[in-house]
Amino acid sequence: MKTPFHDYQHALDFDARAARSDVRVQLGAWLVEALALNGSERVLDIATGTGRVARPVAKHLDGGKVVGVDEAAAMLRVAREQASKEPIPRYLQTVGVAESLPFRDGVFDRAFVVLSLHHFGDPPLVVQETFRTLRPGGTFVVLDPVLLEARDSLDKSLDELINTIFRRTHGENFRFHSAEEIRHLLIGAGFRIARADLHTVSFDQESMEGIPTGRHWLEVAEQIQSESTEMRERFEQSYLEYRKVDGKVRVKGKLSFALICGERD
């Protein structure tokens, strides 16, 4: 099953929403800080999409370059169209699959994947491929929305429900991880964990505009209303409250983003 990202109109809409998101700007700042660039690095952007994340990274390079790879040609097309209006310096892109990266061993100094790990069908293989393409001493940064660590069977059921609802739109491979699961993915591929941060984004607003994957979180919130009181209360405690006031949707809550840095020794 192809994801919506292969559709050109969806890619255009996605890019327009991303351009209006202050949260994505903050994620970009966290990423740049974690990459610790000196300016000359060769950087791999896995699932580069429309180039929105590559842009702030490229601005910190002088002599280096960002190479973006994505399997969705529609997303890369939008990236090229946007770059024709506002060029991204030192940025190249290519079509490729994250589970089989089209690059030689040890050619990159840094690599990152932002807001995409949850889409991959084989995350361990993606991490192994990234390890392969990094030189010794290279750094891999994963920045992804995460579910909270499950404390009991109710949390596990809630996690499964959230992922099931997201899969309706994004395909059978979709799966949110926890921060600890991401750590173990990197360790399993041979990385040493150099940093593991958990950032929380709080909101109290109408709609989920500006929140990554926000529209689909609303779908979860709507379905939760028909679940047990216990399930609904746990969702509200852990993620968000959903209310309709005067015909408008009001959401209040928080979502977590894990920033995990692995180093190849």
Identify the pLDDT of residue 2.
61
Identify the pLDDT of residue 1.
45
Through-space distance between the first and last CA atoms of the chain, rounded to whole angstroms: 37
pLDDT digits (tens, 9 = 90+) for 141-169: 999 999 999 999 999 999 999 999 999 98
Segment 180-187 mean pLDDT: 98
CA separation, residue 177 to residues 51, 116, 256 (Å): 24, 11, 11
Say yes or no to pLDDT of 3 above 80.
no
Amino acid at 29: A
Segment 198-220 mean pLDDT: 93
Determine the 3-state secondary structure of 137 from DSSP.
strand
Identify the pLDDT of residue 110.
98
Identify the pLDDT of residue 93.
95
Q: Which residues contact 237 (CB under 8 A, 6 or more apart)?
A: none
Dist. CA 138–CA 111, nearest whole Å: 8
Domains and CATH numbers, the chain: 4-147+173-201+255-263 (3.40.50.150)
Segment 175-181 mean pLDDT: 98
Q: Which tokens in the block code for residue 42? A: 């060769």
Identify the pLDDT of residue 4.
79
pLDDT digits (tens, 9 = 90+) for 237-256: 999 998 988 888 899 999 99
pLDDT digits (tens, 9 = 90+) for 32-76: 999 999 999 999 999 999 999 999 999 999 999 999 999 999 999
